[in-house]
Amino acid sequence: MTNSIEISGLCKSYGDFALDHIDLTLPGGSIMGLIGENGAGKTTTIKCILNLIRRDAGTITLMGYDNIAQERQAKAEVGVVLDECYFHDTLRPADIHTILSRVYQNWDKALFASCLKKFQLPEGKYVKEFSRGMKMKLSLAAALAHHPKLLILDEATAGLDPVVRDEILDEFLNFIQDEDHSILISSHITSDLEKVADYITYLHQGRVVLSEAKDVIQDSYGRLACTAQQLSAIQPEDLVRVRKGSYGCEALVSDRAVFRKKYPQLMVEPISLEDIMLFIGKGEQV
């Protein structure tokens, strides 16, 4: 099966910030969550994938197509939903159909209409009359209507209420039922990614610090709570990050099973994606 996205050695420098040799692979039929703090490089990575900005080094393929040399073929296979709805306020869904049907060779009027009906979006209303949730649904309907094999979403669920988010997440799961379909979604809402993602890639200060199957991360990583004295007895290579406070210490462990065998007297608990981010973003290196 062709990988939906392959990124190798991606670099992009803005002077005060740089993507530093990003490697990323999204297998077909799966969802990858792209996480990281603000300014970590998530949107820059997505813009490089879409060839919206010129990269300094590296290669990117989408559905097997080079995203520069074969840009037209690559983008024909991709649906995109960004953090804002970029359809003009004076357009109606019917107008969007008229415009995009001339852009995409595989545009499916019936599918677009079906998505509008499923999402309960009125065809006759203007975009300016839509709520944020309705605008995101409209963007998703347009992204799906040309039968893409890959969806790329940049904070598409940010600011939405839990009911709308859950509805959109269900659509993502339906989309990948076809094993040729895949999704790359960047999000700060790690609980959403814990529900639907197969893989997680964590960007920190322009570098990939973690890229692994979600189940492996959840089964392996853990939080250790201990005293300063106990912490001092642990070998540094057995800890990823530590945080020290007035009432004790805690540390991020990358392999709970191995750690427990080596330090059976210490308790290590499972940890969420959000807490892993907090450890790496705010914790100290050992």
Write out pLDDT tens, residues 34-56.
Answer: 999 988 999 999 999 999 999 99
Residue 211 and residue 199 in contact, taking contact as beta carbons nearer than 8 Å: yes
Query: CB count, 10 Å around CB of 8?
Result: 14
Token pair for 254: 């990358």
Fold category of 5-213 in CATH: Rossmann fold (3.40.50)
Amino acid in the structure at residue 168:
I
In a 3-state reduction of DSSP, which class is residue 68?
coil
DSSP summary character for residue 285: P
Report the pLDDT value the prediction gives residue 100, as an integer from 0 to 100: 94
Give residues with Cβ within 8 angstroms of 243, minimum separation 6: 249, 250, 251, 279, 282, 283, 284
* Residue carrying structure tokens 């097997």: 64
Report the pLDDT value the prediction gives residue 95, as an integer from 0 to 100: 95
DSSP summary character for residue 124: T
pLDDT in tens, 107-126: 999 999 999 999 999 988 99
Give residues with Cβ within 8 angstroms of 43, minimum separation 6: 154, 186
Per-domain residue ranges of the chain:
5-213, 221-282
pTM assigned to the model? 0.91
The low-confidence residues of the chain, meaning pLDDT below 70, are: 1
